[in-house]
Structure 1
């Protein structure tokens, strides 16, 4: 009889730890791994980062220049179950790694902004951005202009010549902003 009491006590402790871990991973912070070189020189391929999620759980918007983790599947709605499935413990149990859908990028434009690329330089609302964090000058391409819609942001990688970002995938809905880069 005592052994069943002990097993019950351990089961309760493990269950509570699992629930707490899920809560922290879905709403507070979560580890991520950077894949690729789109954020060089700021972040590097295979670098582990911890990202803060609490701000976005509360509905806050990222600021200009923030490094954010976004869900690149912008054509679909996100649900609570997406966040649960992306939790490291659930991914480990299901074997479902979703690393290829998470992009780590920098916020360039917010709702209502006009983002332009002219002569390989980035402008926001007519003013050229001072971007000391970029790896190198962008390749000279045709000029482009985007008007950021409500409830969306425009993101770019720091390695502009090697980044799949809003220039290709489009605007990022605010509910696709998962976290901001926290501490290493």
Structure 2
């Protein structure tokens, strides 16, 4: 008859301790691998969310615009970068003196200043801007700016009359006529680049 092998109590305790110590080691490794996978997944989700948010902001709220040419000097220099608020005119109507970006008839985005609103009559006489026959103070212009006279223009409904601040070197409503408000991309809110030109508009 076979006899049961006798294992001293101390040896049995040692074997049990070895078995138990091996289990947590695998558990920690498994948890580490799971944590690494979760971390990559969280980063991927955060990246996708950030890209989606940036796309939504650029598409519907704010959009950067690169100024090209001298037509808005001295207010804006060529190569300045401005931030355009695309929600401005969805919540309010355009106002006198606001700088706007709009889509021209040639499908090019331009930046100019609103000087007359729908239904108003605008003209320049003796270097003075007149709206509905009243003089308009243009504090945003350089003191040396000269504006050539032009005959009265009645701004149609749903349109605005725009001029560049550099009146002697600007293609604006004096050339292509009033701009439909539906073609306005948004209001230029501030210059953000270069940093030295940072300012509100």
Q: Same fold (TM over 0.5)?
A: yes
Q: Which runs of 5+ in 1 are unaligned?
A: 77-100
- Give the match for residue 128 of structure 1: 135
Provide, for residues 30-89 of structure 1, a one-character-per-residue CA deviation record: whole Å limited to 9, x for no partner: 111111111111111101111211212x25222100111111127x8xxxxxxxxxxxxx
Aligned: 1:167 with 2:174: yes
Q: Matches of residues 30-41 of structure 1 in structure 2 within 5 Å?
A: 30-41=63-74
Q: Does 1:177 align with 2:194?
A: no
TM-score by length of structure 2 reads: 0.68
Normalized against structure 1, the TM-score is what? Answer: 0.74
Partner of 2:95: 63
Q: How many residues align?
A: 156
Cα shift readout 1:125-155 (whole Å, capped 9, x = no counterpart): 001211122241124x5x3121111111110
**Alignment partner, residue 94 of structure 1:** none
Change (3 A) 1:8 1:73: farther
**Equivalent in 25, 41, 62 of residue 29 of structure 1:** 62
1:18 Cα deviation after fit: 2.8
Which sits farther off after the overlay, 155-164 or 111-120? 111-120
CA RMSD of aligned residues (A): 2.3
Q: Does 1:116 align with 2:123?
A: yes
The superposition leaves residues 130-181 of structure 1 with CA deviations (integer Å, 9 ceiling, x where unpaired) of: 1122241124x5x312111111111000001101111111111111111112
Extract unaligned runs of 5+ from structure 2: 1-33, 192-201
Contact 1:61 1:174 in 2 (8 A): no
Larger C-alpha radius of gyration, 1 or 2? 2
Q: Is the contact between residue 164 and residue 171 of structure 2 (CA under 8 Å) also seen in structure 1?
A: yes
